[in-house]
Amino acid sequence: MWSWRSSASIGVMTLGLFIAEPRYAIAQQSVISNRGVVEIETSGSLGISVRIVEDLANMIDDGATRRVIPVVGKGALQNLADLRYLRGIDMAILPTDILEYAKEQQLSPEITTSLTYVTKLHNEELHILTRAEIEDVRDLANGQVNLDVRGSATAVTTARVFRLLNIPIRPAYDSPEAALEKLKKREIAAVAFVASKPAPLFLSLQGGRDLHFLEIPITSATSNAYIPTRLTAADYPGLIAPDRSIDTLAVSNVLAVAELRQMPERYRNVANFVDAFFTSFQSLLSPGHHPKWAEVNVAAELPGWRRYAPAEQWLQRNMQIAKAPNPETLRAMFSRFVDERRSAIGGEAMSQQDKDALFQQFKNWQRVQPQ
C-alpha cells in the first residue's frame, strides 16, 4: 500500500527529471551552437573590414560545422592586444605595419611574437584632406593633423608615414566626423584617414577653393614600407578635378591568428576555416562581394610575419591552384602594377585602353615562352 511518503518521493523524482531534461537540452544546444565557431575582430564601421568578414561569414557558414562571428573592435592597437589576451578572439584584421609600430612604441614583445597570419588581405589608402592654402604635405610641419582616435589604423599608419618623411606634426585624436568640422572651422591643419577608396567619409564633400587632398611624396623610405597608389576624380568627383590625380600610399591588411596551439578545439576550428576559405576563395571574386577581394592573393608572402601552419600546409598541397588568378583578376593586377610603376617614376598616367593593349601584348608574349 502506497504511503504519502512514497508518493512524495515519486513526485520529487519526477520533478527532478523535468528539471534535468531542460538542463541536458540546454547543454546539448550549447555544444551545437559553438561547434566550429571562429570569432574575427575587425576595425570600426567606417572601414571595410566589417564587410570583408561578412563576406567570409556568408561563404564559410554551412549551418552545422562552421560559423564565423564578426566582432567590431576599437582600433588596430586594441585589436592586436585583444588577439593576444581577450578570451574567444581567434583572428583579427590588422594593418601590416602594426608590428613595426609596436616595436617603435616598445610594446611588450609577447603581444607580437606569438602572432601568425592566414593571408594578406586588401589595401587601404591614406587620405590627407586639408585647406586650400596648404599646397604641399611639407606645409603641415608643426601643424595639427587629426589621426582619428588613438590606436586606430589611421593613427598607426599616418604617424609612421610622417616619421618616414621627416615631417613633425602635432597629432589630434578626434573622430573623423568631428575632425572634418574642425577643419572647416580652421581649428586644425588637416584630417588624415586610412580607408579603402572611395571612403564614404569624403564622398559628400565638395572641394572648390576650400578643401583638397594632399599628395604624399614617393621616397625610398615610404615605397619600401607602403604601396604607391593614386586617388582620382572617379573616386572623389567633388574633390578631385577630372584631369587630375593625387599620389598617395596604401597600407595592406592581414588576417592574423591568435596563439591557439594550447587550445585544440579552437585551433581545429580555425584550421577548418582556412580550408573552407582557401578552397572557395575564387567565389569571393564574383559580383555581390566587396571589390577589394580582387586585390587578394592568398599565396602572397608577408615579410616579417609567420604563416599559420594549417594555411601553409594547404598552400603547399594546392600551390598551383592558389597561384593562378582568374583572367579578370590578372588584368586588374596588371593595371594596378602599371599605375604604381608610372607613379613611382613620375610618369604620366596611362589610359585604360593603352593598358589593355599592353596587357594583351604581355599575354601574347607569355604564350610563346618555354614552360
Q: What integer pLDDT is reported at residue 368 of this predicted model?
A: 44
Chain-centroid distance, C-alpha 340: 20
For residue 246, count other CB atoms closer than 10 A to its CB: 21
Please give the grid coordinates belonging to residue 199: 571612403
Task: Look at the pTM and tell me if it is higher than 0.85.
Answer: no
| 3 state SS for the chain | CCCHHHHHHHHHHHHHHHHHHHHHHHHHHHHHHHCCEEEEEECCCCCCHHHHHHHHHHHHCCCCCCEEEEEECCCHHHHHHHHHHCCCCCEEEEECCHHHHHHHCCCCCHHHHCCEEEEEEEEEEEEEEEECCCCCHHHHCCCEEECCCCCCHHHHHHHHHHHHCCCCCEEECCCHHHHHHHHHCCCCCEEEEEECCCCHHHHCCCCCCCEEECCCCCCHHHHHHCEEEEEECCCCCCCCCCCCEEEEEEEEEEEEECCCCCCHHHHHHHHHHHHHHHHCHHHHHCCCCCHHHHHCCCCCCCCCCCECHHHHHHHHHCHHHHCCCCHHHHHHHHHHHHHHHHHHCCCCCCCHHHHHHHHHHHHHHHHCCCC
Q: What integer pLDDT is reported at residue 169 of this predicted model?
A: 96
Q: What integer pLDDT is reported at residue 360 of this predicted model?
A: 73
Place of cell 582616435: 149
Q: What integer pLDDT is reported at residue 330 of this predicted model?
A: 66
User: In this structure, are residues 314 and 274 in contact, taking their beta carbons and an 8 Å threshold?
Assistant: yes
Please give the grid coordinates belonging to residue 90: 581567434
Instruction: List Cα–Cα distances, 17 to 2, 11, 347, in angstroms.
Output: 21, 10, 80
Helix axes 153-164, 76-85, angle to 10 degrees: 120
For residue 245, count other CB atoms closer than 10 A to its CB: 20
Q: What integer pLDDT is reported at residue 137 of this predicted model?
A: 95
Q: What integer pLDDT is reported at residue 369 of this predicted model?
A: 44
Q: What integer pLDDT is reported at residue 100 of this predicted model?
A: 85
Residue ranges of the chain with pLDDT lower than 50? 1-4, 29, 368-371
Distance from C-alpha of 362 to C-alpha of 365, rounded to nearest angstrom: 5
